[in-house]
Amino acid sequence: MENLTYVTGNYGKYISVKEKFENAGITIDYFKCDLIEPNINDIKYISKEKAKQAFEILGTPVFVADSGFYIEDYPNNPGYPGAFVKRSGISSNIKDLLETMKNVTNRNCYFLDCLTFFDGQEYYQFLGINKGTLSKEIKGENKKTAKSKLWQVFIPINCHKTLAEMSDFERNNRPDHRTSATDEFLNWFKLNYKDNQRLVKKYEDR
């Protein structure tokens, strides 16, 4: 039986999640893989389908995490790009995004995260939301630990810096009342799979 495995093509996501699990005394493995995303703007559905794919590849309990980015007053398409954040090209073309939004007064936006854990029998999903506003210019460095280039233009509520401008301490202790899908999953996992015994048993009972 292998450790719980996080499947993602984004190494920065793995690093941030790995640290949280290690602090809780839990070891996780990393498997780099760009899973196929269904062409539907539904973050929960996409996450579940990707967890299914990941399990089919590895054959062991896995979890995946997906993030949507929603801009309230995106011109002619409120809430865009949502779950299509990667395919829309917005996250890799920040300058184009700012140009599109240059005359928009309401710059409210948010990240919605969905983490799906699949043990081979059941799916478990956890959500997290991070509200903020879109800056008018690119600020901060695009570091390897960043989950998205959008960190350079996203200012969490009650803050004055973009996520990319913040130090690790500032980012981890910011007063924005965000919720974390990873934290929700970690707390649930510690209660339901203590020392991985239940995980091992469920896997072996398949």
When divided into structural domains, the chain yields a total of 1
CATH number for the domain spanning 112: value is 3.90.950.10
Q: What is the pLDDT of residue 200?
A: 44
Q: For residue 77, give Cα distances in angstroms to 7, 39, 101.
A: 31, 17, 12
- pLDDT score of 198: 52
Instruction: Note down pLDDT in tens along the chain; length 206 residues.
Output: 357 899 998 887 888 899 889 998 888 999 999 899 899 999 999 999 999 999 999 999 999 999 999 999 999 999 999 999 988 999 889 999 999 999 999 999 999 999 999 999 999 999 999 999 999 999 999 887 788 899 999 999 999 999 999 998 999 899 999 999 999 999 999 888 755 555 544 444 44
In which domain, by residue range, is 114 found? Answer: 4-204
Contact 173, 151 (CB under 8 A): no
Q: How far apart are CA 169 and CA 185, in angstroms?
A: 22
CA distance 116 to 57: 16
pLDDT at 206: 46
Q: Using alpha carbons only, what angle is made at residue 104 by residues 79 and 131, rounded to the nearest 5 degrees?
A: 45
Going by DSSP bridges, is the β-strand pair 62-71/4-8 parallel, antiparallel, or unpaired? parallel
In degrees and rounded to multiples of 5, residue 107 shows phi and psi of -110, 20
Token couple for 129: 């939301």
Identify the H or E element spanning 77. Answer: none
pLDDT at 16: 81
Q: How many CA atoms lie within 13 A of 73 on its CB side?
A: 11
User: What pLDDT score does 199 carry?
Assistant: 54
Cβ 81 vs Cβ 90: under 8 Å? yes
3-class state of residue 18 by DSSP: helix
What pLDDT, on a 0 to 100 scale, did the predictor assign at position 115?
97
Q: How would DSSP label each residue in 132-143?
A: EEE-SS--S---
Tokens 């793995």 found at: 14
For residue 171, how many other CB atoms are within 10 A of its CB? Answer: 18
pLDDT of residue 117: 97
Quote the CA–CA distance of 206 and 203 in Å, as a whole number. 6
pTM: 0.83
Distance of alpha carbon 95 from alpha carbon 117, whole angstroms: 35
